[in-house]
Amino acid sequence: MIKRMNKLTALMVAATAVASIVPAVSASAAAKLEVQEGNIDAAVAYGDGKYVYDGYLTDDDESGLYFNNGTKDSFLENDEDYEFGSEKYGTKYTIVENDGEDYLLDLSSGKVLDDESIEDLRNNVELKLRTTLKKADDRYATVNNKIVFENNDEIAQVLGNQFGDVWYSYGVKSADSDKTLYGFANESGKYIDASALANMTVSTTDSAVRVTEFDKEKNDAMVSLAEAPKVIAQDSSYLYAITKVNVTIAGEADGTRTYIQKISKAQGDTKDGAYMPKSVDSYEISSNFYIDKDNDDTAKAEELLLDENNMVRVIKDTIYVTTVSEDGKVYVNTIKLKKEKVTKNDGTKKLDVYVAVKDQDDDEKIEGGANAVSIDAEGNTWAVNKGKIYKFNGTEFVEVYTCDRTIDHLDVYDENNLIAWNKENEVFATVQTKDGNGTDEGDKEETKAGWVTNADGTWSYNKADGTKTTGWLLDGSTWYYFNANGVMQTGWVNVNGTWYYLNPVSNGYKGAMQTGWLNDNGTWYYLQSNGAMKTGWLNDNGTWYYLNSNGSMKTGWLLDTDGNWYYLQSNGAMAKNTTVDGYKLGSNGAWIR
């Protein structure tokens, strides 16, 4: 039965592609950023044109920490002397130091939150977590009626110095063994135990076995945690962790293997009173179980993901690894999740297993090294080089802005909010400048209302008062979306965490929000009536389809969160009342066991 069930296992290949800073042909010319004078040591960009910087603009200014609200600067050190290292925290903060304590600076308001230090915040989470974990005393051990954490009895923040949800890792002794149980908790103390659900596919002598739980044998295969899972990235719904396990086959040790685990942030079922993640998917990246090209490619992917100097982000289920070499070359590696067969190490057969495959290699020299590279709040990689600011669009770097050629430092919040500078030459540039929209008041020309074509060929929509529309616009019965600079957007756009698709083709409806089925480069997506990309189950005119978490239409076998197997045909339609690969499916599409 297990051999037959291999067909049902949703396996993955992390196919890695590397792109470099080679300018791609853009649909519209790069916008020129105005050069401004200023001596800047460090800076962090935020939304709505806001940013904070350490330095001064003119010789009459006092050197120190300033906050710009999108139009003007405010000096923040009238009463305090802050140390600023441009470190990011949470979704809208940067960190400042005062008298040896770290505090949060709110980038939306420019206020320093000095009532509680970052250490105080961590201690508050720790206290809440001790209280909640103690309720699961059948799973977690207590000492003198108290939960005691590993690592000096402390929890530790994961994924520091990047925008996103704040999460902590913890380790606690098991109530019924000497093993340490690992998990993660957010700022409110809500936790998920990461030591139970494995969902790992393990290759044995002649098959691939799906092992659902740690320390529980399944068809002669068992996996046990070798060390604490290490979070390397997150998106809005999942933590992505590197997990090393010891493998046992038929009671004999079979080495250590490494997986990427995609761990749901949402709580699911309980085990011995402790909350497990709602879902866990595991993808093998070990390099020593396969031969020839498979082995070489998995080794490269494993090396990338395990290098702590690399910057790892996730966008729509794709993992992006940004590497800056010692000689100043920048690489972006994409790791995608998909099903593929690879060769077993004895060379005799191919099995479905989770592996990471590196596709190609490329690089480009940049001035300034790591200082010239920035990862924005959405996970996109940016770089400045010789007067041009590039964004990696998923396959290649495209030129978005031009600036002063000497600029060699960059910090990006999103495409419409960034700051770039050169300290030695005392110059900097932002998207918003003197009047907050990228132009000097004296440069403005009389504008007309309605649709207008910009000098670079892009489209904007002017209001009656001459200002540009931003955000959503309903023109007749068609929706359009404009960025913070008033430029009409095309293609995929993420608005407040929701994906939309705006027609990129100049066929009379360019920029129009799409609804219904969409075929994008061979992959099907479904846009709901409000334009939002659909995920999960979809009933379209009586036919059920399933859209993955990245919106792509699912085909083949699917193990749903309800524990049932379903089969999606090549056109995406759910099969029912039929037999597939020897498995009988009922009227609701579920496999009848």
The string of pLDDT tens digits covering residues 373-429 is: 999 999 999 999 999 999 888 778 888 899 999 999 999 999 889 999 999 999 999
d(CA 485, CA 459): 11
Q: DSSP of 322-362, one letter per residue?
A: EEE-TTSEEEEEEEEEE--EEE-TTSS-EEE--EEEE----
**Residue 301, C-beta contacts closer than 8 angstroms, at least 6 positions apart:** 14, 16, 285, 287, 333, 335, 355, 356, 357, 358
Q: What are the beta bridge partners of residue 211?
A: 200
Distance, CA of 165 to chain centre: 11
Residue 306 phi/psi, 5° resolution?
A: -90, -10
Q: Bridge partners of 270?
A: 275
What pLDDT is stored for residue 21 in this prediction? 52
Q: Does some domain include residue 227?
A: no
Over residues 505-527, mean pLDDT: 84
How many CB atoms sit inside 10 A of residue 282's CB? Answer: 24
- Percentage with pLDDT > 90 across the chain: 62
Q: Which of 113-122, 175-184, 330-339 has the lowest mean pLDDT?
A: 330-339
Q: Is 431 helix (H, G, I), strand (E, B) or coil?
A: coil
pLDDT for position 303: 83
pLDDT-wise least confident of 131-145, 194-208, 477-491 = 194-208
The answer to whether residue 513 scores a pLDDT higher than 60 is yes
19 versus 332: the higher-pLDDT residue is: 332
Whole-angstrom Cα distance, residue 52 to residue 86? 9
Decide if pLDDT at 19 tops 70. no
CA dist 592 and 585 (Å) reads: 6
d(CA 389, CA 404): 10
* Strand 221-225, strand 238-249: pairing: antiparallel
Structure tokens at 97: 């130091």
Q: Which amino acid is at 13?
A: V
Confidence of residue 444 (pLDDT cuts 50, 70, 90): very low
pLDDT (0 to 100) of residue 448: 62
Model confidence pLDDT, tens digit, residues 114-136: 999 999 999 999 999 999 999 99
The distance from CA 220 to its chain's CA centroid, rounded to whole angstroms, is 36
Q: Is the dihedral of CA 429, 430, 432, 438 positive or negative?
A: positive
510 within some domain = yes
Distance CA 269, CA 252 (A): 32
CB atoms near residue 56 (< 10 Å): 19
Contacts 24+ apart (CB under 8 A), 156-161: 157/122, 158/184, 158/230, 158/231, 158/239, 159/231, 159/232, 159/233, 159/234, 160/87, 160/89, 161/87, 161/88, 161/89
d(CA 211, CA 206): 16
Residue 436 has pLDDT above 70, yes or no: no
In a domain, 484, yes or no: yes
Domain presence at residue 190: no
Q: Is the pLDDT of residue 273 over 70?
A: yes
218 three-state secondary structure:
strand
Predicted confidence at residue 398, as pLDDT, reads: 85
> Does 98 fall in a domain?
no
Return d(Cα 286, Cα 89) in angstroms, integer: 32
CATH number at residue 467: 2.10.270.10
For 211, phi and psi rounded to 5 degrees?
-100, 115
**68 found inside a domain:** no
Strand ranges in 415-467 using DSSP code E only, listed in sequence order = 417-422, 427-430, 450-453, 459-462
Helix H or strand E encompassing 298: helix 292-306
What confidence tens digit (pLDDT) does each residue in 559-585 have? 988 889 999 999 999 999 999 988 999
Q: Rounded to the nearest 5°, which phi and psi values hold at 369?
A: 60, -135
Answer yes or no: is 450 within a domain.
yes
Sequence letter at residue 417: N
Looking at residue 14, its pLDDT comes to 43
Q: What is the mean pLDDT of residues 505-534?
A: 86
Residues across the chain: 593
Partner residues linked to 32 by β-bridges:
402
321-331 pLDDT tens trace: 999 988 778 88
Determine phi and psi for 352, rounding to 5 degrees. -80, 115
HEC string of 137-155?
Answer: CCCECECCCCECEHHHHCC
Number of domains in the chain: 1
d(CA 534, CA 530): 10
pLDDT tens digits for range 212-241: 999 999 999 999 999 999 999 999 899 999
Does residue 459 lie within any of the structural domains?
Answer: yes
Look up the domain containing 503 and give its range.
445-514
Q: Where are the beta strands (DSSP E) in 397-555?
A: 397-402, 409-414, 417-422, 427-430, 450-453, 459-462, 471-475, 478-482, 491-495, 498-502, 516-520, 523-527, 536-540, 543-547
